[in-house]
Structures are given as C-alpha cells and as structure tokens.
Chains A and B, each alone.
Chain A
Amino acid sequence: MKGKKLKIGIYELTGCAGDALMILNCEKELPAIFQAVDIQSFLMAKSDNIDDELDVALVEGSVTTEKEVEELKDIRKRSKIVVALGLCATVGGIQARFQDPQKWQENFRQVYGETKMELPAVVSKPIDAYIKVDFYLPGCPISKEQFLNFFTRVVKGAPPESYPQPVCVSCKYKENDCLLKNGLFCLGPLTADGCGAVCPSHNLPCVGCWGPVQGGNWTSEFYLLQDKGFSREFIKKKMANFAGTKLSEFWKQFDRRD
C-alpha cells in the first residue's frame, strides 16, 4: 500500500511561509493528509527530508536568489507535477513590484548599501519565469478549503480543470451589495476567486491579494476608477500591489496608448 502513495514535497522559496503554515493549519485533516500521501520533504513540518523523485511538488514563494533558481530547476527535474502555492509563487508577490532592473538596483542599494551578498540576489519573479508550472493555487495566503479541494483531487489522480472566475462571483454568492458600484476602490472583477470574497463580505473592498484573474478587463476598470475620482498614480499603484509580473505587458501597452 505504501508504495502506491503519492510522493509529495513542499518547498519554500522567498515568501512569508504563510502558505506552508496554512497547510499545517488544516488540523482536522492533517492525519488524513499524512495517511493519503507520503510527504518526502516539508521543512516546516519535519526534519528527515529526502530530496528524491516526487509525484507532486508544492512550491511556495518567489524566486529572488540565484541559488533558488537552481533549487527550483532541481525540483522541476524531480517532480511529475509542480504546483505554484500562494501568490508569491504564482505572480511573484509584492516583492515583484519592481521589475525594471535599474530601479531594482537602486532600491537594492538603498536598502543594503554596497554590502556584498552571500546569496547573489535577482529581480523577484514567479516560479513560472524559470520552470513549467502545472497548477496554480494563488492566495495570500492560500485558503484552506481551496487547498484541501485541490489536494484531494490530486491524490485521487484528477487535478481539476481550471475555470477562472473573479472574486465578484463569490461576492454575489454571499449576496453583498457591490462596493465598486458604490464608488469604492474594489479590485474584485480583476482578481482570481478563491478566498470566497472575504473582504467585500466584511464591507472592505478587494485589494486583489489572489492575483489577476484570467480574462480580467484592466483597461475598463482603470477608466472606471478614474471616473470615480481616483488618480492615475493611485490606481496604478494599487493595481500593481498583488499583480506581480503578470501585468508588465499590460502596463507597457497601456502607457503607450495613453
């Protein structure tokens, strides 16, 4: 029986480790998880980690050092399925806001001065900048429910087909009055659903922490927000917060046109 269990590895690159923690937070389900799969490597949870062939690797965090690039490539080589776990791995996270190498150098110098780094740093990127990713589980941090659902499907051998939908869908399931319609700065229509619209359900606009949803209409929402009186710079800044590298192309085109 043991031989049949999926071999899983959970890895952390640069991030807050909140996603790995969220897995450990599935207290009720943990015994079942450990029963269902063979966890080969999970630095946060255990010490006897083996870096061997894997069925599924869950990778949290963005790539910010050259060493991480190597580590990541090694994980890909060893794994049948690679899952980007959390926002940082999916889009690069907040640390990926500065993609312009020059600006990044400037910031770097401002923070660290001329210190020589032991681990040479690179511009922060999502993991799919370096390797092929099979599935994405965004979130800052990931949601327990979404993780368990996905995990169970993987264990049963049929990872779900992705069906991208914005936060607004869950927001309507929860019967919230639309904050954007009321003039608030809500990024729900541009953000991948998965949190179940927790923020709008507490009357707080969505800031986009699940990252961009496929097919989001950024141009239209940009103009809409401008119409509602928000400044161009403010909108850009807010939109960029959780979009990581995924909007670079959009901004290039957008700035050229405007």
Chain B
Amino acid sequence: MKIVKLKKSNLHPFLQAASQDAELWAPVRQKNNKHSFQPIKDFATIDLNYTRTILPPRKLFLPPQFNMFQASLQGYKEDFSHVSPKVIFGVHPCDLHGLLIFDEFHRQNFEDPYYLKAKENTLIFGHSCWPDDKCFCQSTNTHLVEEGYDLFFSELDDYYLVWIGSSRGDDCLRLAPELFDESLSEEDIKGYIAWQEKRNQAFKLKINFFAMPDLMELRYHHSLWEKLGQACLSCGSCSLVCPTCNCYNVQDQPLLSQDASNIQRCWDSCMLENYSAVAGGENFREKRSQRLKLWYTHKLQAYISKYGKPACVGCGRCIATCPVDINVFTVSRALEGEEVEAFWNRLAKEVNP
C-alpha cells in the first residue's frame, strides 16, 4: 500500500481540494461534549479529538428516514434524493469495520441500491483514534483497518501518515500533490511503530469476545435473560446507535391531493414490542428478554451465518447509550457468570422474590 506524509498545516487545504465537488462531513462537537458527523462549512468546526459520534456514519448512507420511491397507479418513480457526492473525513477503524459489514450485508443476496448508490458516491477518509474507557475494538479485532477507506490518516506529532486505500483515494492526492511528501524517514516509521504500541497498551476495556458464541449457546436458557428483560426499557437506543444494525420499517404515506404515495423507509429496532408481531395476534418476541436474546445473538454470536463473524465492532456506543447499562460489556460479563450491577440484582429480586 502506498503511504505518504501530510503536514498538519496542510490538512485544511487538502480537504478543501478533495471536497470541491462534494459535501464534506466530519465530526463536530455538539452539546454535552458529544460528537456527530455534520456537514462542514468552516474547517475550524472539525473536531478530531473525539472517540465516538452519537450515531455511526451509516446515517449518511441510509438516513433514519427517507423515501425509496413514489408509487402511483401510473407506476413507480425511484427516489434517490438522499444520494449526493460526499466526502466523510475522520472515520475511526471500528466504524470502518462497521461499514465493511454493511457493504457485505447490502451486497449479498439482493443488492440494495439505496445503500450501494450512496456508498459509490462517497469518499471515506479514515482517521486514527485513541481509546477511552468504553472502546474495546481490540477485543473484537477491529482496531486496525486494511480496507474500507479511500484514505486513512494516522495522526502523529505534527503530521499524518496517509494510507492510500483505493484508486479514488489516489486520485484525491493528485488534486494537490504539492501538499504531500512521498518519502518517509526512518524516524517517521519508528514514530508510527511507537505510537501503535502505545495505543495497543491503552485499551482499558477488554472482553473475552471469542468465548461469547459458546457462552451464548450454553446460557441461552439462563435466568440472566429474564433479569435483563426486567431492566430493559425497550427504548431501542442500543440498536439505533449500533454501526451494524440494519433493521427498518416501511410505510406507505399517501399524498392528500394526488393518487400517489411516498414509500418511506425508516430505522426500526428489534427491541420494540411489535417488531415480530404477525397477523392473528401472534408475537414471536413478546417478552423483552426474547428481544434482547435476538440482539445479543447477532452481536455476540454470529450474524447472518454468511458473515462468519459476530456483528460487534467494539465501538462502545451501546455502553455510552443504554440508560440501564445493558450493553455488550455488561452482558458479556453476565454470560461469564458474574453478577455485574447492583441495579440488576435489585431487579432480579423483583423477578424471584
């Protein structure tokens, strides 16, 4: 892979050049010190000193709500208005892995044009990161990336090592070749290695991830699920913020003064009560515990068997989000046989007084 060097002072000029015919999106600090990918008008608002955005970058490819097509008796009119040329800067390795899973998911079986067209029209510039107490991508083996980006920016002292991941990424560099330095010095290489090692030591949160598939199987009927079900608020937040959750609902929204409807697609969550309800009053996951089991089967055991891997990339968003602390970490501890939270214990008493 080709690697070049970019002085930090050259970053904004480069982004300027790269996003000439596209909308630039990057992390911006929001209220409460949380971050979000936002369209950038002023480079100064880009804040790379972040760990995770509230929503993962998948919102840029399949937004929470959008129209798939307009239906009428005359026929169907596809609506791709959510697709526009974009450059996303500052995507961390876990989220790049999330997008790789999304790529595979939306390509397999039936290609999903709403995702794939948006993806085709987007350049992805990854960025290195530093873990906080909720990151555990090292445990999911998603802390490093080899693919899934056009360019990847490894931040070192006053420069970046820029990894060129695609031919389109290479084209971007050619827009402003004078900003880059093609020759890496011995120091640069040593600096990068030292940084890598330091980062490897920095992960505080560890999950014995590869024991999870067996534990999910062995404790499938364990009472821990009932306890979790008592605590869960069915708010759906965990799945809405997860970079690998794909569920959606479809609504036919007729227009008042025309014989036509907008067919709207919106994010759904398998934590919601009616998610698996069918005609005749049957609901296959009426209980919260059953809904949690489905989610954790996908995150900890295996997603669609074709992935051959669990669909958790260790981003820590469920940890940062769930109001009652049901998340990949606490559930993995519960699966290992530990009573984790006092809160759960009290609820457990509620279940078996």
Contact = CB atoms under 8 A, between A and B. Distances in A.
Interface of A: 29, 32-33, 35-36, 148-149, 151-153, 155-156, 158, 160, 163-166, 168-169, 171-173, 175-178, 180-182, 188-190, 203, 214-217, 219-221, 223-224, 227, 257
A166 B54 contact: no
A180 B235 CA distance: 11
Interface centre among B55, B249, B254, B266 (most CB of A within 10 A): B254
B321 A32 contact: no
Per DSSP, chain A at the interface is: helix
Q: Which 8 pairs across A and B sit closest by C-beta, in order of nearness? A: A215-B273, A172-B240, A173-B64, A168-B235, A189-B233, A189-B235, A177-B34, A180-B323
Contacts of B323: 178, 180-181, 189, 224
Contacts of A215: 234, 272-273
13 contacts: A33-B256, A151-B256, A164-B273, A164-B274, A169-B235, A172-B267, A173-B64, A176-B54, A177-B31, A178-B323, A181-B321, A189-B323, A216-B233
Nearest to A215: B273
Interface centre among B55, B231, B249, B256 (most CB of A within 10 A): B256
Contacts of B55: 172, 175
Interface residues of B, number: 45
A148 B256 contact: yes
B274 to A, nearest CB: 6
Contact of A177 (B32, B230, B255): B32
Interface stretch (B81-89, B102-110, B343-351): B343-351
Interface of B: 30-32, 34, 36, 53-55, 59, 64-65, 230-237, 240-241, 249, 251-257, 266-267, 269, 272-274, 288, 320-324, 343, 346-347, 350
Contacts of B32: 177, 182
A173 B267 contact: yes
Contact of A220 (B65, B274, B347): B347
A228 to B, nearest CB: 10
B253 A152 contact: yes
A80 B32 CA distance: 50
A91 B232 CA distance: 24
A162 to B, nearest CB: 8
Contacts of B34: 177
Given A163-B274, A173-B267, A189-B235, A223 B347 contact: yes
A203 B324 CA distance: 20
Contacts of A220: 230-233, 324, 347
Given A153-B254, A182-B32, A166 B324 contact: no
B269 A169 contact: yes
B255 to A, nearest CB: 7
Nearest to A174: B64
A156 B254 contact: yes
B235 A177 contact: no
Contact of B256 (A155, A173, A216): A155
Contacts of A224: 233, 323-324, 343
Contacts of B324: 220, 224
Given A164-B272, A219-B350, A223-B346, A178 B237 contact: yes
Contacts of B343: 223-224, 227
A175 B269 contact: no
A151 B343 CA distance: 44
A36 B254 CA distance: 13
B237 A32 contact: no
A175 B236 contact: no
Contact of B288 (A172, A177, A217): A217
A216 B271 CA distance: 11
A161 to B, nearest CB: 9
B28 to A, nearest CB: 11
A158 to B, nearest CB: 8
B292 to A, nearest CB: 12
Contacts of B36: 175
Given A176-B54, A178-B237, A203-B31, A149 B253 contact: yes
Nearest to B233: A189
Nearest to B63: A173
A181 B254 CA distance: 37
Given A175-B59, A181-B321, A221 B253 contact: no
B234 A36 contact: no
A173 B65 contact: yes
A169 to B, nearest CB: 5
